[in-house]
Amino acid sequence: MIDGTTDISGDEQEAVYLRFYHEGAIYERFLAMGTPESTCSNHVYEFVVGTLKSNNIDTEKLIGMASDGASNMVGKKGGLAALLRSNVNAELLNMHCFAHRLELSFRDVFKKNNLYEKLMTLLIGLYYFYHKQYKNKSGLIKSMDAVDIKGVLPTKVTGTRWLPHLSRGIKNLLRSYKAFEAHLATISYSNPKGEGLYKIMTSKDVVCFVLFLMELLDPLMRVSLKLQRPESSVAECYTWISSTIDLLDDYKSRFWRGRDTCSMQAFSADTS
């Protein structure tokens, strides 16, 4: 398994993990991190093969590769998987990370939804508004005391595990909603940024969408965390995904219980 990132100096870094079977159990182990000459598939191939050989790993036993689905990894003609098939194992299995595919599918569904964009603007805005300015954070804490709730500061909703981050961010928003509303309402007359966040947060459409999304995210977050488990097999992943699809299909046929929200059928029509 391989994934790339950049370090603080801007250099490309590739992390390589091994997934293997031993005495009835599946294991994942970190193997190495290094800097290929470039991110092109040929240089990444040289880095991967060199890393395996330097650790005395027989490349002929390599039967599969997993990545985030980038073109330099999965390209049919010149990607890393194609090079490994040509030079190492003609029957090598190329896997696009299940958890990553779930995240991308979720974003594809909502990328043109105005309410989703407003919600993300709100969650990201609240995080930087209170984490970057001590005066705002202090005011929010005082508002929590005033409305008598045990609230929490807004959390970062962007990251590599988007669904769990987003789910946690929404739950924290609802948990501290009264405090956010009280503080932003107080400073909205003198703080344009606070006024903008207050208008988004108190919009009926946004509130209804938050409640809807909280219900939708619960099964998606659960399956995402299962897909990330090192011991999960491909067969188990397909079973969990199939069960989640059945659950979401069931959601389409009913309204949210006890909540003044739009039906899933209407939402499904808008996003299909």
56-74: per-residue pLDDT in tens? 988 888 999 999 888 889 8
First to last CA, the chain: 33
- Residues of the chain falling short of pLDDT 70: 159-161, 254-272
Q: What is the pLDDT of residue 107?
A: 86
Does the CA dihedral 60-66-68-70 come out positive or negative?
A: positive
Domains, the chain, with CATH or none: 2-96 (3.30.420), 101-271 (no CATH)
From residue 183, alpha-carbon distances to 22, 83, 126, 169 in Å are 56, 57, 12, 18
* φ/ψ (deg, to 5) at 38: -160, 180
Per-residue pLDDT of 114-145, as tens digits, reads 999 999 999 999 999 998 889 999 999 999 99
pTM for this predicted structure: 0.73
The H-or-E segment that residue 20 falls in is strand 12-22
| Angle between helices 134-147 and 177-187 in degrees, nearest 10 | 120
C-alpha dihedral (111, 223, 5, 45), degrees to nearest 10: -110
